[in-house]
């Protein structure tokens, strides 16, 4: 199981991380909203490896049979390896190359609030909130904790769907049954 988790987790992490590395220099041209769409789309593409990892384990290691619990735990471990790589990549980009990210993100949030018609009082509250968030985000531990939470929800969904689609139990006589 360890080999499957590492193999598929690392490949998944490379996909998510390489997309981040390739798009980070073009952040201003892409924009924050489109960047978020690209980021989550690349995560979903990377998490296709969860399905293939579970299927590979079921077919090549587990003799064609795997229960939902084992399939789900295998999928979540692949997601975790990928998420750790994604987080490590962001930490290097943020603290090594993109020190102005938070300033630009705050400017984007303030412009969005203004465009939605926020009052001066609401803008002041938003500015104070942005300042607190920036201070927290500049702490590498908090930054990493926030960043690792980004890929986990889509990864959880993909792991659940993959485990449900791929789980099989053997019954008497060695026949494989697929749950309904």
What are the per-10-residue average pLDDT scores of the chain (180 residues)?
94 94 82 84 93 94 90 96 95 82 80 83 83 85 92 94 85 52
* pLDDT value of position 176: 54
Please state the φ and ψ torsions of residue 120, each to the nearest 5 degrees.
-60, -40
CB 54 within 8 A of CB 162: yes
* pLDDT value of position 24: 81
Q: Where are the beta strands (DSSP E) in the chain?
A: 169-170, 176-177
What's the token pair of residue 177? 């049954």
* pLDDT value of position 36: 84
176: enclosing H helix or E strand: strand 176-177
What's the token pair of residue 139? 């702490």
pTM of the predicted model as reported, rounded to 2 decimal places: 0.80
CB 13 within 8 A of CB 85: yes
């Amino acid at each position: 199981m360890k080999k499957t988790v590492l193999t598929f987790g690392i490949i998944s992490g490379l996909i998510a991380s390489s997309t981040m590395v390739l798009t980070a220099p073009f952040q201003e041209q892409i924009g924050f909203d489109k960047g978020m769409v690209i980021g989550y789309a690349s995560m979903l593409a990377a998490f296709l490896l969860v399905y293939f990892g579970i299927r590979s384990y079921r077919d090549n290691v587990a003799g064609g049979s795997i229960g939902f619990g084992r399939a789900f735990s295998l999928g979540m471990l692949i997601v975790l390896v990928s998420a750790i790589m994604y987080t490590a990549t962001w930490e290097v980009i943020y603290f090594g190359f993109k020190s102005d990210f938070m300033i630009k993100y705050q400017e984007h949030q303030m412009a969005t609030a203004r465009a939605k018609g926020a009052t001066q009082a609401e803008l002041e509250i938003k500015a104070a909130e942005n300042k607190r968030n920036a201070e927290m985000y500049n702490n590498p531990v908090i930054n990493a904790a926030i960043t690792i939470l980004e890929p986990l929800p889509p990864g959880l969904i993909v792991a659940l769907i993959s485990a449900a689609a791929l789980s099989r139990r053997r019954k008497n006589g060695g026949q494989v049954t697929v749950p309904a």
